[in-house]
A = this chain, B = another copy of it.
Amino acid sequence: MSKYVYGIDVGGTSIKIGLFDFNTTKLINSFEVKTPNKDDGKVIFETIYKNILDNNHNQEIELSSILGVGIDVPCPVKNGYVESCANLHIANINLIDEMKKYLPGNMVVTIANDATIAAYGENASLDKPYNNAVLITLGTGVGGGVILDGKIVEGSTGFAGEIGHIKVYDESDKVCGCGSKGCLEQICGTEGILDYTKKLLISQSSMLDTNNLSVKSIFDAAKVGDEVALETIHRVAKYIGIASSIISMVIEPDIFIIGGGVSKAGDFLLELIQKYYKENARFSTGKIPFKLAQTGNDAGMIGSALLVKSLIATE
């Protein structure tokens, strides 16, 4: 009888649910449901359970052939425990225990941070996964995940891999969303990119329209040589390079993987990041390779499925 696992990616607005073949980790089917917006975030797990039952029914699969459920959430997580997560309206709760209330006792459940799971999924999806990998995700915010010795690194209370809040510059005024100053995200998050471009546009001519600006429009303009756009993008790449050089002095990973929406800028961005990484890398650590993330929007489902699979003994 075939065996399966679920890989589930919980976001603030939607939950992506994927059914995977256990042996091949091939995606059988996937679908998206709305994240319930309740005061009590625990209802999410009831929603997940009901959708698993419905999907099993549609796919003509017994619950007993599901070996595990892997889930990621947009929260700091340590061994399934979340101290506080405004994104999902939950606090002081072990999410693994919560999910297990609905599932048969022998079913393996993993719940971890979404960016950490994306790092796990991206690395495990490489032709030859590395033992030690760091994912940096560039989107509205800047996030990341750390894999060491093939395992996810959660940190003491779930804050490992918060790459966007590494202090990379001396900022005296502007406060980051996290409450601190000088964070990587303040330069390389969407707001930081747009604000810096707007400031340049006050005094420099450009093909960019300050009233109709997006990160994509800036990358597009940079690719055709617009000076303002180039200055912004070089600044983003420089600080990702600096942050990566800092990470290397802590754990020196085997690979840096660049993901998130902004990474759609592709090799153009990747090459600039590598240039600035090499300029800032200490000793001989400039040799560490950089790759673009490959799994796209499915990273969370795939990573979750792979993580739970890794905890299930093969028969």
Contact = CB atoms under 8 A, between A and B. Distances in A.
Interface of A: 76, 83-84, 132, 146, 148-149, 151, 153-163, 165-170, 178-180, 183, 242, 245-254, 280, 282-285, 287-288
Given A149-B151, A156-B132, A167-B242, A161 B284 contact: no
Contacts of A153: 148, 251
Contact of A248 (B159, B169, B251, B283): B159
Contacts of A84: 284
Contacts of A170: 169-170
B249 A251 contact: no
A242 to B, nearest CB: 6
Contacts of A247: 250
A157 B251 contact: no
A71 B283 CA distance: 23
A169 B171 CA distance: 10
The interface residues of chain A, by DSSP majority, are classed as loop
B283 A250 contact: no
A254 B178 contact: no
A160 B76 contact: no
Contacts of A246: 166-167, 246, 250
A146 B247 CA distance: 12
Contacts of A169: 170
B250 A160 contact: yes
Nearest to A168: B167
A285 B157 contact: yes
Nearest to A170: B170
Contact of A251 (B146, B242, B245, B282): B146
Contacts of A242: 167
Contacts of A245: 167, 180
Nearest to A245: B167
B250 A156 contact: no
Given A157-B252, A160-B250, 10 more contacts: A83-B284, A132-B155, A153-B251, A155-B251, A162-B282, A166-B250, A167-B168, A167-B246, A170-B170, A250-B251
